[in-house]
Amino acid sequence: MTDQLFLEKIYDVASELYGRELTIAEKDQIINNFNNSKGTNYERAKIAIHKVTGKNVPERFLLLEKAAAVNNLQVLVSEMKAAAEQWSKK
């Protein structure tokens, strides 16, 4: 998995949490926060997203009224986690 694909997964999760596309400055902040964080790549991605969006990446997904939005976020987080694991193996 390429670095770019991993970054895109991180951006996708952050965008979904924000409810809008990220700006270039926000993407740059995510990269800087990721590089300055400690832990696994998945943990570092979650920290970077939180520092930019102010929202936590959920570990568990509960049924809510907006089931489609929750399902989309759940898929994006799963993809980001898989991308982090693949990136770690490089």
Q: What is the pLDDT of residues 51-68, one digit of tens each?
A: 999 998 887 655 444 555
pLDDT band at residue 81, thresholds of 50, 70 and 90? Answer: confident
Whole-model pTM above 0.85? no
Q: Count CB neighbours of 73 within 10 A.
A: 18
The arithmetic mean of pLDDT across residues 75-83, rounded, is 86
Q: Tell whether the model's pLDDT for residue 1 goes beyond 50.
A: no
**Secondary structure letter of residue 54 according to DSSP:** S
Count CA atoms closer than 13 A to 76's CA, side-chain side.
22
Residue 21 tokens, joined: 């596309």
pLDDT of 75 above 90:
no
Residue 60: the pLDDT is 63
